[in-house]
């Protein structure tokens, strides 16, 4: 089996300063162990976004350097356009290039939907969704000019819904939709963009949730180190796929994709038809997989061209 390395490649990992075991921290150290030059980015506020459990990017970068790797610390916020641009500029100023981004930064205050404060709403959306947008926008011109790039957007199975996770779920679903479209636009210029939903026992998880009898089993069987190889593959030059949504937990890796039912067709469709044929509309027996976003985007039906864009 030939070895896959990142020698000469520069990778930004956001949200990489957490206390061990932290997914971002493990991503950064694993990539560095494979030869990547890593920008260890973290604002330092921890998983709740309020600084109760702080993160330390400098500690992670030192760990990488002490192990013989190369790393630089960046403490800018992904949630602001100018700060996100500064993160990318850190890579350019230090090593003159950028090859891949792992958009991992995030916070997750957990409570009932009607209990969130307006500040919570802005912080979660700004960090997860807008943070991913700003990072991709900042890096895109550099990747496009190089004709090469890999973007790994960390999402979550919570995008399908989860108790006490309304804001987090909304943001992660937005990231997944963004990923599909960026993959379409990146295809002709050598940029591959994928999403990954990881599951692992982390310090963030124990901080945000009360410990239970399951906690020791989660940490034993779902380790952050088991997620890092999947992130690394998606960030590697040998990654052959784009516009895909993967999940990983406990050493298992799988793809999730959308399907559609056969449904009900009637050119004279009326409200009563929907009511009377609802079971047929929802019947999954003959469901089929939808085309991948890139395949769909290249189909004749999607070959439209927008009117000239007018900047506001």
* Helix H or strand E encompassing 101: strand 100-103
| Distance from C-alpha of 68 to C-alpha of 241, rounded to nearest angstrom | 31
List average pLDDT for each run of 10 residues in the chain, which is 312 residues long: 94 93 94 98 72 76 98 96 98 98 92 93 95 98 98 92 91 96 97 95 59 67 91 98 96 95 98 98 95 88 79 78
| Distance from C-alpha of 217 to C-alpha of 289, rounded to nearest angstrom | 34
| Distance from C-alpha of 235 to C-alpha of 56, rounded to nearest angstrom | 23
| Distance from C-alpha of 134 to C-alpha of 136, rounded to nearest angstrom | 6
Provide the pLDDT for residue 206: 52
Structure tokens at 255: 């793809």
Alpha helices in the chain (DSSP H): 23-33, 57-66, 81-95, 118-125, 131-146, 166-186, 203-208, 215-221, 228-235, 271-276, 278-282, 293-297
Provide the pLDDT for residue 278: 98
Q: Locate the domains of the chain by residue range.
A: 10-256, 259-291
Do 220 and 179 touch, CB atoms closer than 8 A? no
Structure tokens at 269: 């469709």
Sheet with 252-256, side-by-side order of all strands = 70-74, 37-41, 10-13, 100-103, 149-154, 191-199, 245-249, 252-256
Neighbours of 287 (CB within 10 A): 14
| Distance from C-alpha of 194 to C-alpha of 239, rounded to nearest angstrom | 10
SS3 label, residue 37: strand
Cα→Cα distances 156→74, 78, 88, 199, Å: 25, 18, 24, 8
Query: 10-256 sits in which CATH class?
Result: alpha beta
SS3 label, residue 246: strand
Provide the pLDDT for residue 50: 58
Strand partners, 260: 288
Which residues carry out catalysis?
168
Structure tokens at 69: 């790797």
The pTM is what?
Answer: 0.92
Q: For residue 309, which phi and psi values (nearest 5 degrees)?
A: -80, 130
């Amino acid at each position: 089996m030939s070895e896959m390395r990142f020698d000469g490649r520069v990778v930004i990992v956001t949200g990489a300063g957490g206390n061990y075991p932290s997914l971002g921290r493990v991503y950064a150290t694993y990539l560095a162990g494979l030869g990547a030059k890593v920008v260890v980015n973290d604002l330092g506020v921890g998983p709740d976004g309020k600084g109760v459990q702080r993160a330390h990017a400098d500690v992670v970068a030192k760990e990488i350097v002490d192990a013989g790797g190369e790393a630089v610390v960046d403490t800018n916020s992904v949630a602001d356009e100018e700060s996100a641009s500064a993160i990318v500029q850190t890579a350019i100023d230090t090593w003159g290039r950028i090859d891949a981004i792992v958009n991992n930064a995030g916070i997750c205050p957990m409570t009932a939907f009607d209990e969130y404060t307006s500040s919570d709403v802005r912080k979660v959306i700004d960090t997860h969704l807008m943070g991913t947008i700003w990072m991709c926008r900042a890096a895109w011109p550099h990747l496009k000019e190089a004709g090469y790039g890999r973007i790994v957007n960390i999402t979550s199975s919570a995008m399908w819904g989860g108790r006490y996770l309304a804001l987090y779920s909304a943001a992660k679903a937005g990231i997944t939709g963004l990923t599909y479209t960026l993959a379409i636009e990146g295809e002709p210029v050598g940029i591959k963009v994928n999403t990954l939903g990881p599951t692992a026992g982390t310090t963030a998880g124990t901080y945000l949730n009360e410990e239970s009898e399951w906690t020791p089993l989660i940490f034993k069987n779902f380790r952050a180190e088991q997620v890092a190889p999947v992130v690394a593959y998606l960030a590697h030059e040998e990654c052959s796929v784009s516009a895909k949504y993967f999940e990983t937990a406990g050493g298992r890796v799988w793809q999730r994709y959308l399907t559609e039912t056969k449904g009900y067709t009637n050119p004279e469709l009326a409200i009563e038809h929907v009511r009377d044929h609802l079971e047929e509309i929802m019947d999954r027996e003959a469901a089929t997989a939808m085309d991948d976003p890139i395949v769909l985007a290249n189909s004749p039906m999607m070959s439209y061209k927008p009117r000239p864009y007018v900047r506001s």
